[in-house]
């Protein structure tokens, strides 16, 4: 029996990139998966078809995680589709780069509204929806949470906040057997980072002991571990998954 058989997982921001890789992997592990997306209905639908072709079960559910009322709807629709929820992967996140001089209030608000406020409110909804015997929340952070990136000041700050929240939420939810674990990717090849090209990635590769950038499947493998019973004694920690990269 696959190790997540009987479990239901919501992966936020799963139509593309790292989230899509995580959704595919958790479905292969036996979970029924909600492929959440904000705008890319076609990509979410294609991923669900792929998961089903591979023998898994998934549904696409649209919800903008930066809008609190849509988070509530996401959980209601998940319960309607699958009857329960056991795992939340807070993956939806945006990154905006530029000089300090060019930062705008809107850019700061956009990044914090999704990467931090959305993560907190989705975790609040999950904690209400999880069964009495517990659940798992995975926060997708970034290496930038502990070693910030120049020109990504607000983004790095959101991920520092995510790491802090992984700890505080684990402290609060531990007594209910809800584990909260962070997974912090290094540079990973996704739709979001595709514009960097090989030249843009080269400085990161040069600082990566394993000598390449990550793939969504690398991050998904770590998530598969942290949601499993094998990680049942791990909470409040953030696992760096970047081939040894320090930004
Ligand atoms: N790629 C990297 O190098 C890297 C490194 C470290 C950490 N991370 C983190 O990993 C996560 C995913 O990054 P990625 O590179 O895979 O991103 P990506 O390729 O840009 O994909 C972003 C995904 O998030 C969804 N999304 C965007 N805004 C949303 C919203 N308001 N509500 C719900 N879903 C939303 C998008 O769906 P729609 O298209 O439907 O809007 C899409 O599925 C982020 O938290 C990011 O900070 C990435």
Condensed to tens digits (0 to 9), the pLDDT of residues 124-137 reads 999 999 999 999 99
pTM for this predicted structure: 0.98
**Does residue 1 lie in a domain region?**
no
- What is the pLDDT, as a whole number, of residue 247? 77
Quick: pLDDT tens for 20-54. 999 999 999 999 999 999 999 999 999 999 999 99
- State residue 98's pLDDT score: 95
Q: What is the structure's pLDDT at 167?
A: 98
Q: What DSSP string runs through 47-104? A: HHHHHHHTT-EEEEEE--TTSHHHHHHHHHHHHHHHS---EEEE---------GGG--
> For the chain, what is the domain count?
1
| Partner residues linked to 77 by β-bridges | none
What's phi and psi for 220, nearest 5 deg?
-60, -35
Ligand 1 pocket test, candidate residues 11, 13, 220, most atoms within 8 A of CB: 13
**How many angstroms separate the alpha carbon of residue 213 from the centre of ligand 1?**
17
User: What per-residue confidence (pLDDT) applies to 246?
Assistant: 87
User: The domain containing residue 193 runs over which residues?
Assistant: 8-237
Q: Is residue 242 part of a domain?
A: no
Q: Clarify whether 155 is annotated catalytic.
A: yes
Q: Classify strands 178-185 and 135-140 as parallel, antiparallel or unpaired.
A: parallel
Q: Which of 184, 78, 191 is nearest to 130 (CA)?
A: 78
Which pLDDT score, from 0 to 100, does residue 198 have? 92
CATH code of residue 43: 3.40.50.720
What integer pLDDT is reported at residue 213 of this predicted model? Answer: 97
Q: Phi/psi class of residue 42: alpha, beta or left (left: φ > 0; alpha: ψ in -120 to 50)?
A: alpha
Residue 24 tokens, joined: 């595919």
The answer to whether 47 touches 58, Cβ cutoff 8 Å, is yes
**How much is the average pLDDT of 147-170?**
97
């Amino acid at each position: 029996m696959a190790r997540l058989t009987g479990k239901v997982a919501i992966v936020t921001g799963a139509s593309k990139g790292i989230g899509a890789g995580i959704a595919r992997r958790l479905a292969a592990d036996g979970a029924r998966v909600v492929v959440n997306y904000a705008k890319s209905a076609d990509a979410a639908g294609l991923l669900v078809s792929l998961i089903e072709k591979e023998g898994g079960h998934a549904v696409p559910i649209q919800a903008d995680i930066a809008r609190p009322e849509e988070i509530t709807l996401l959980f209601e629709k998940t319960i309607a589709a699958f009857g329960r929820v056991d795992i939340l992967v807070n993956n939806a996140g945006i990154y905006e780069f530029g000089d300090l001089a060019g930062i705008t209030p809107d850019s700061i608000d956009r990044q914090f509204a999704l990467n931090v406020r959305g993560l907190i409110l989705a975790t609040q909804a999950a904690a209400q929806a999880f069964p009495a015997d517990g659940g798992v929340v995975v926060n997708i952070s970034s290496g930038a949470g502990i070693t910030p990136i120049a020109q990504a000041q607000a983004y790095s700050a959101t991920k520092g906040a995510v790491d802090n929240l992984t700890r505080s939420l684990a402290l609060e939810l531990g007594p209910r057997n809800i584990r909260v674990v962070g997974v912090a990717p290094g540079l990973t090849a996704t739709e979001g980072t595709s514009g960097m090209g090989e030249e843009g990635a080269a400085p990161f590769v040069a600082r990566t002991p394993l000598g390449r950038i990550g793939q969504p499947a690398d991050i998904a493998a770590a998530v598969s571990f942290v949601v499993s019973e094998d990680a049942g004694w791990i909470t409040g920690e953030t696992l760096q998954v970047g081939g040894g990269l320090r930004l």
